Structure 1
Amino acid sequence: MFFQLLFSFISPTISSRCCGTYKQLTGAKQCDWDSRVVSTVHALIVGSFCLYILAYDDAVNLDPIWGDPFQVKMNVAITCGYLVYDLLLFARYWKEMRDPYMVCHHFAVIYAYGYVLNRGVLPYFANFRLISELSTPFVNLRWFFDAVGLPRSSQPVLINGLAMAVVFFIVRIAVIPSYYSQVFATFGTEGYIRLGIGPQVAWIVSCVILDILNVFWMYKIAAGFYRVVTKGKPGGKPKRNHAE
């Protein structure tokens, strides 16, 4: 309800007052704008809470499978609430916001986090996955720059593009070896066996799906940044249009 309120009332009101470009956008663009405001707010809340838990929640860090999940469940519940809101938004505005990859992402996350909320299992690993949300504000800022008409060769866009690529790589790609090494370290332990087949499958399958999507998105981000940087260099191939 909070995220829907933010989308329907708070974002349109503040955006129309603070940014003249917002009023000039089409209805579809305004819808996308408001959804990205909500996405950014969610990412900042969940990402900050995630770092706090990783730093100070000793129970979760000492027992990654069965540690006290109270704070993690609260953070996961916020994320699941956002994902449900976002899926309803996709259903309502599918023509404007068509993104099958994101729908797959949402269902995979909800499927896995359902076990965290219902049984309180895997709190450390559930919270660790939420680190990826720290890259979302940079992704959305790139879209906002496009919406207000800033050239992709301008300094703010290039700085944000570099930051987006670096942060996305750090929180979604570079952590993959460390994450899976900790996953493999739990195999065969008493805590892992107590999980049962359902949580085990949900945990591993959802992680694999999410990381395949992350690698795919990392490739698109790196390729897009490379095109923008090299387009203005001598010998660079000129693009026929501005669609990227």
Structure 2
Amino acid sequence: METRELTVVTGSFVTFQLLFSVVSPWLSSVIAPGYGQLPPTKVTEWNSGDPTTVKLNVAITCGYLLYLMLLARNWTTMGDGFFVCHHLAALYAYGYVLTRGVLPYFANFRLISELSTPFVNQWFFEALKVPRSHHLVVLNGVLMSVVFFLVRIAVMPSYWASVLVTFGTPEFERLGVGAQVAWISSCVALDILNTIWMYKITRGCYKVLTRAGGQKAHVNNHKD
């Protein structure tokens, strides 16, 4: 993903988040006085609006995830069990969004995690044999760790709080067992994988930083 695409993704996320969190609640309170009396689940549904745009986002994401067929053809060089599990879990859940149009808000919420993808995919440093102590590698490692934590780990409490509010509501019951299982099981699996990856990323970032710091000190000692 190039800087241009990253800018579009970020701008789209910020715009829709502002519409959902700020514009819609304010405008709805002005136009419809009864808005403030709605239960939390209805407020979420109200503010998320027409799911057409969300379904388009999910459709684009599903096409991207389906490239795991490429991994199957090149498993010896690109294979990663956790990576494939992540793709399959996401496709399983997003399939319900596309076929039944359910859970648009939660589907879009999960797409926040893709803001970390540009930093995770900077594999070309290793392919070009750029030293891990190089300032670009170190910078990318730090940014990857910070952004990954913000969009995949730090959002977990907020996300699951929104999920728990729906339990036992008529809307949750109308989903049916299939959609309920797809939604909850896929999110649990994805968050477990994200936690494992966060641990690995943190360890890798720590090693890169300590190695870079050690080499810098070594150079300074020689200068002295």
The reply to whether TM is greater than 0.5 is yes
Cross-structure match for 2:137: 157
User: Using the alignment, how far apart are the partners of 2:73 and 2:108 within structure 1?
Assistant: 30
Alignment map for 1:1-244 (pairs within 5 Å): 48-56=11-19, 58=24, 62-63=44-45, 67-84=49-66, 86-141=67-122, 143-233=123-213
What RMSD in Å do the two structures reach over aligned CA positions?
2.6
Task: Using the TM superposition, give the Cα deviation of residue 196 of structure 1 relative to its aligned residue in structure 2, in angstroms.
Answer: 1.2
Q: Hey, what's the Cα distance between the residues in 1 that align with 2:5 and 2:166?
A: 30
Partner SS, residue 121 of structure 2: helix
Count residues with an aligned counterpart. 195
Q: AA paired with 1:123?
A: P
Whether the 8 Å CA contact 2:115–2:151 is kept in 1: the answer is: yes
1:96 Cα shift?
Answer: 1.7
Flag the 1:218–1:127 CA change in 2: closer, same or farther, 3 A. same
Distance in 1, matches of 2:212 and 2:133, equals 8
TM-score, length of structure 2 as denominator length: 0.78
User: Could you say if the C-alpha distance between residues 132 and 177 of structure 1 is closer, same or farther in structure 2, counting changes exceeding 3 Å?
Assistant: same
**1:25-76 alpha-carbon deviations (Å, 9 max, x no partner):** xxxxxxxxxxxx59x9887665554443333254997317985210100000
Question: Secondary structure of 1:127's partner?
Answer: helix
Deviations 1:213-239 (A, max 9, x none): 0000001110001111123556xxxxx
3-state SS of paired residue (2:57): helix
Q: 1:165–1:218: 8 Å Cα contact kept in structure 2?
A: yes
Q: CA deviation at 1:152?
A: 1.1
The 2-side partners of 1:118 and 1:180 are apart by: 24
In structure 2, what is the equivalent of residue 3 of structure 1?
Answer: none
Larger Rg: 2
Counterparts in 2 of 1:218 and 1:65: CA distance versus 1, 3 Å: same
Where does structure 1 differ by over 4 angstroms across 4 or more consecutive aligned residues? 40-48, 57-61, 64-67
In structure 2, runs of 5+ residues without a counterpart are 26-41, 215-224
What is the CA distance between 1:158 and its match in structure 2?
Answer: 1.2
1:43, 1:163 → 2: CA distance? 14
Specify the code of the residue in structure 2 equivalent to 1:118. T
- What CA distance in whole angstroms lies between the structure 1 residues aligned with 2:59 and 2:16? 15
The percentage of counterpart residues that share the same residue type is 57
- What is the one-letter code of the residue matched to 1:228? V
| 8 Å contact from structure 2 (residues 72, 79) kept in 1 | no
Contact 1:169 1:218 in 2 (8 A): yes
Following the alignment from structure 2 to structure 1, what is the Cα–Cα distance between the partners of residues 132 and 108? 34
Q: Contact 1:172/1:214 (CA < 8 Å) preserved in 2?
A: yes
Give yes or no for contact 1:112–1:203 (8 Å, CA) kept in 2.
Answer: yes
Q: Which runs of 5+ in 1 are unaligned?
A: 1-36, 235-244
Instruction: State the secondary structure of the residue aligned to 1:146.
Output: helix
Q: Taking structure 1 as reference, are residues 145 and 42 closer, same or farther at Cα in structure 2, changes over 3 Å only?
A: same
TM-score in terms of structure 1 length: 0.72
Contact 1:116-1:126 within 8 A present in 2 as well:
yes
